[in-house]
Amino acid sequence: MKITSAFFMMFAFMVLSFFSFASVSPALAQHSGAGMEACIKNCGTCSTACDKALKHEQDKGKSASAELTKVLEDCAAICKTSEGMLKRGSEFHPKVCKVCSDICSKCAELCEKSKDKALQDCAKECRKCEESCKKMAS
């Protein structure tokens, strides 16, 4: 009788442990699948585009826009952070994606003012990232 009780207790503990590890936060469950994969991809691509545009701006030297340079740095950094949090399934990704969306919007706005190809490419990637991060933030 004691062995049966011990077995039952062990089985119950294993089942409860499984469900506590298998449970997903509501934010992650809501944002799983293709939308999350697209956002991860868009964040990575945007970060790369911002780094490229930043290098291009820095190569201009003193004629580079200080505001644009700062926003490009911020955008590249937040996109990398957002990408990492999405990949890890962080429960905080909706908040980070909201900030990422806001910064991408500002970066795109500034880049769209230029006729430079690197900045136009960056603006395009920022708009994609902005939209996918908006979806992840909601």
CATH code where residue 115 lies: 1.20.1270.360
Do residues 131 and 69 touch, judged by C-beta distance below 8 A? no
pLDDT at 6 over 70: no
Q: Among candidates 85, 1, 88, which has minimal Cα distance to 43? A: 85
Spatial separation of the C-alpha atoms in residues 62 and 76, rounded to whole Å: 21
Q: Among candidates 80, 81, 78, which has minimal Cα distance to 105? A: 78
Task: Tell me whether residue 5 is in a domain.
Answer: no
Task: Tell me whether residue 8 is in a domain.
Answer: no
Do residues 78 and 100 touch, judged by C-beta distance below 8 A? yes
Q: What is the domain range of residue 51? A: 34-58+65-137
Task: Tell me whether residue 6 is in a domain.
Answer: no
Do residues 27 and 86 touch, judged by C-beta distance below 8 A? no
Q: Name which of 16-20, 37-41, 129-133 the model is least confident about.
A: 16-20
Structure confidence at residue 92 as a pLDDT band (50, 70, 90):
very high
Query: Residue 19 burial by CB count (10 A; 0-12/13-18/19+): exposed, middle or buried?
Result: exposed
Q: How many domains does the chain divide into?
A: 1
Task: Tell me whether residue 102 is in a domain.
Answer: yes
Q: What is the pLDDT of residue 25?
A: 42
Task: Tell me whether residue 116 is in a domain.
Answer: yes
3-class DSSP state of 138:
coil
Tell me the longest C-alpha to C-alpha distance in the chain. Answer: 84
Q: Name which of 14-23, 57-66, 104-113 the model is least confident about.
A: 14-23
Q: Among candidates 23, 82, 94, 91, which has minimal Cα distance to 50? A: 82
